[in-house]
A and B are shown apart, each in its own frame.
Chain A
Amino acid sequence: MPTELKGATNLRKALKKFSPDLDKETRDEMVGFLKPLVKKARGFLPSNAEAPSGFVKHEVKTAKFPMYDATEARRGIGYKLTPTKPNRQGWSSTVSIHNKTAAGAIVETAGRKSGITGKFTPRFQGQLIGSGKMSGRAMFRAYKEDEGKARVGVIRALEKAAAKFNGKAA
């Protein structure tokens, strides 16, 4: 589950404006925790040879269903250190990891709702790790296996930055 850190966005803004060095330091520290997570998640995505052959990118005239390309899908997994647009409830993610591509999201979530049945889902080799909306084969699996180390690291980095910044301001 995400952690609510009040004032994190404002802290990043203040750091960027008044203490760019500290901002960079904080950013680097956070990236240090997120990058291995992203790398691990990318590693869980199947290669083109491992993915169901009909799902792999090929020449078709009318493509409606997203097609899988391992390189593209791997590129779609990343991290974001700037706040997202608030949702209808007003929640905004200050630090997050994402799986952006449609094909990547299919690999990630296939079988969440209906289970490993039918002709498509069982052909994915990776395990669906996690529960409910936090389950998946790549990003969610990596996040689950990380056991919150990245989350704690990011929170500590922000707290450290806040302490340093406040100390400087005082």
Chain B
Amino acid sequence: MAELRIPIIVENKGKKAFKETDKAITGLTKNFKKLAGAAGIGLSTAAVINFGKKAAAAFIADEKAARQLAIAVKNLGIAFETPRIESFISDLSMATGVADDQLRPAMQKLLTTTGSVTKAQELLSQAIDISAGSGVAFETVAQDLASAYVGQTRGIRKYNLGITQAELKTMKFADIQERLNKQFSGANAEYLTTYAGKLQLISTAAGEASEKIGKSLVESLVSVFAAGDTTRFVEQIDELATKIANVVNSVVFGFKKLYILTSDRAILASFNPFDDYEKNALAAIEAAEKAAKFRLGAPSMGYQGSRPIGIYATPAQQAAAKKLEADAARRARELASSQAKQLAEQKKKLALEKASKTLELDRINLTAALKGKISETDRISLQLQLALLDKNDSLATKLSAELEAATKRQQTLNAALLATPEAPNPYRNWVPPALQSMYDSQQYFGPQGGLGAGVVAGVNPPVNVQVVIDGKEVASAVTDVQVNQSLSGTFSDVNRVAARGSVGIR
């Protein structure tokens, strides 16, 4: 089920033109049938009508595109350039095999972007080559070029020009154009030498005929009628179309004359010598036919004999066109200058980014914490960090260079240290002097700590001390006490080592 929608504001668009065409075609069908009936001709008109419908629809679409372009040109203030632009598009279409209904919107885009007819024509021609060379759709190429002209280069990436996105962003349009030209120049001409190219060329000229005309038919037509020359064949189709158009014109007006002559009114008038109905009606039809033929064959711009045909620019318009070109050139210069400014800004940004990348803040903090002081590179890194925080790009660039140099120096020093051979022991040949006996000299003796003069800790001979308790040596006094206690039964486990309550004397 289709989605439910409540339209609040509506508008009717686009249908009217087709409706009118249908009405006109239906009317034509009726008239045609009536005429055929009147003439007693049993024509099958279905094919003719179908062709007429298709041709009318195509004409409406084509006219719409042409009118849009004409409005764009008019709004730029160069309406008098319209025939020249149309002629350029027509020639380009014939030469390159790109249909004019593709060329017109592209031309409009480029024209409104650049503001210059010359530049737009140049870019349009280049777009055809790029499209043929890269395989990207022609409309996309034209849009990409128009965007790139005003500095949006994202679309150019797809053409693989061998440059990075960063480089592309900083490139001027002229450089991009040159690069594209170098890569794709002549691609369309080369493409047209292929079978597909030839077929496209013919199909552009003959419209939808190419779908019906198969490979063998195309080749045979080209070889039979134009000795293999596709361009000549295209010209012949064009001539043929003009001739057919003239014939159709004559036939339609012929039928109209026949219709008038066989009408009741004309038959009645033929009996009245004073009634000039037939004469007047035929004269009106002939005048209309003449006018139609003139419109059909009239050149949009050029010369008929010595008489100029078409809209030519007045001096004022020429001056306006000149001014427009100058304005466009100035705008291009301004764009280039703005791009240069952007480029400088981007360079600064890149420099800052690069500088910020060289910082190793964690390492600096760790090293500073471990050593308690900072090395040269750390010092520069910290200074650089400060410069970055201050947005001082010139100082940051300078410090970044210094940091790089210091890092290099550090690396060189490290490498040199690693490469240094092991140093020999400087005391390898030193023999310690033989010490004299401590008692030999008085210089080894002297007051030290709490010991008396002449006593040196750990060096002097042992000293015997005797402890006396109640006139007995301490050992004898203890033994006596133990023996007495043992004998009195109070201390039975004399000399039992490691037993509870025992006393060990050692």
Residues of chain A touching chain B, judged by Cβ–Cβ distance below 8 Å, are 2-9, 34, 83-84, 86, 89-100, 102, 104-105, 108-109, 134, 136, 139-140, 143, 150-151, 154-155, 158
Q: Tell me the nearest residue of chain A to B19, going by C-beta.
A: A90
Give the docked Cα–Cα distance between A139 and B5 (Å).
Answer: 9
* The 3 nearest A-B residue pairs measured at CB: A90-B15, A93-B7, A2-B7
Q: Is the CB of B10 closer than 8 A to any CB of chain A?
A: yes
C-beta contact mask, B9-26 vs A, less than 8 Å → 1, else 0?
A: 111111110000000000
Residues on the B chain within 8 Å of A99, using CB:
3-5
Check B5 against A84 for contact (C-beta < 8 Å).
Answer: yes
What is the distance, in angstroms, from B22's C-beta to the closest C-beta of chain A? 12
Residues on the A chain within 8 Å of B14, using CB:
86, 90
Give the docked Cα–Cα distance between A108 and B1 (Å).
Answer: 12
Give the docked Cα–Cα distance between A143 and B13 (Å).
Answer: 26
Check B3 against A151 for contact (C-beta < 8 Å).
Answer: no
Check A136 against B4 for contact (C-beta < 8 Å).
Answer: yes
Q: Is the CB of B8 closer than 8 A to any CB of chain A?
A: yes
Residues on the A chain within 8 Å of B8, using CB:
2-3, 34, 93, 95-97, 150-151, 154
What is the distance, in angstroms, from A121's C-beta to the closest C-beta of chain B? 16
Q: Is the CB of B6 closer than 8 A to any CB of chain A?
A: yes
Interface of A is mostly: mixed
Residues on the A chain within 8 Å of B6, using CB:
2, 96-98, 134, 139-140, 143
B1-55 CB contacts (< 8 Å) to partner A:
1, 3-16
18 pairs from A and B in contact (CB 8 Å cutoff): A2-B6, A2-B7, A3-B10, A4-B9, A9-B11, A34-B8, A89-B12, A92-B13, A93-B7, A93-B8, A93-B9, A93-B10, A95-B9, A96-B5, A96-B8, A100-B3, A136-B4, A140-B4
What is the distance, in angstroms, from A43's C-beta to the closest C-beta of chain B? 17
Q: Tell me the nearest residue of chain A to B2, going by C-beta.
A: A105
- Extra A-B contacts (18), CB below 8 Å, given A90-B14, A99-B5: A2-B6, A3-B9, A9-B11, A84-B5, A90-B12, A92-B11, A92-B12, A93-B8, A93-B10, A94-B10, A95-B7, A96-B5, A97-B8, A98-B5, A100-B4, A104-B4, A108-B4, A154-B8
What is the distance, in angstroms, from B175's C-beta to the closest C-beta of chain A? 31
Residues of chain B touching chain A, judged by Cβ–Cβ distance below 8 Å, are 1, 3-16
What is the distance, in angstroms, from B57's C-beta to the closest C-beta of chain A? 15
Interface of B is mostly: strand
Partner of A8, one of B1, B9, B15, B16: B9
What is the distance, in angstroms, from A154's C-beta to the closest C-beta of chain B? 6
Residues on the A chain within 8 Å of B9, using CB:
2-5, 8, 93-96, 154-155, 158
Residues on the B chain within 8 Å of A4, using CB:
9-12
Partner of A5, one of B3, B5, B11, B16: B11
Residues on the B chain within 8 Å of A143, using CB:
6
Check B11 against A83 for contact (C-beta < 8 Å).
Answer: yes
Give the docked Cα–Cα distance between A71 and B24 (Å).
Answer: 52
Residues on the B chain within 8 Å of A86, using CB:
12-15
Residues on the B chain within 8 Å of A151, using CB:
8
Residues on the A chain within 8 Å of B12, using CB:
4, 86, 89-92
Partner of B11, one of A94, A97, A154, A155: A94
Check B10 against A109 for contact (C-beta < 8 Å).
Answer: no
Residues on the A chain within 8 Å of B10, using CB:
2-5, 91-94
Residues on the A chain within 8 Å of B4, using CB:
98-100, 104-105, 108-109, 136, 139-140
Residues on the B chain within 8 Å of A83, using CB:
11
Give the docked Cα–Cα distance between A51 and B15 (Å).
Answer: 43
Instruction: Tell me which of B4, B13, B15, B16 has the highest count of chain A C-beta atoms within 10 A of its own C-beta.
Output: B4
Check A9 against B5 for contact (C-beta < 8 Å).
Answer: no
Q: Tell me the nearest residue of chain B to A5, going by C-beta.
A: B9
Give the docked Cα–Cα distance between A53 and B5 (Å).
Answer: 27
Residues on the B chain within 8 Å of A105, using CB:
1, 3-4
Give the docked Cα–Cα distance between A5 and B14 (Å).
Answer: 15
Give the docked Cα–Cα distance between A34 and B1 (Å).
Answer: 24
Given contacts A90-B16, A143-B6, contact A102 B11 (CB under 8 A): no
Give the docked Cα–Cα distance between A102 and B12 (Å).
Answer: 28
Q: Tell me the nearest residue of chain B to A93, going by C-beta.
A: B7
What is the distance, in angstroms, from A37's C-beta to the closest C-beta of chain B? 9
Instruction: Tell me which of B10, B12, B15 has the highest count of chain A C-beta atoms within 10 A of its own C-beta.
Output: B10
Residues on the B chain within 8 Å of A6, using CB:
11
Check B1 against A102 for contact (C-beta < 8 Å).
Answer: yes
Give the docked Cα–Cα distance between A90 and B12 (Å).
Answer: 5
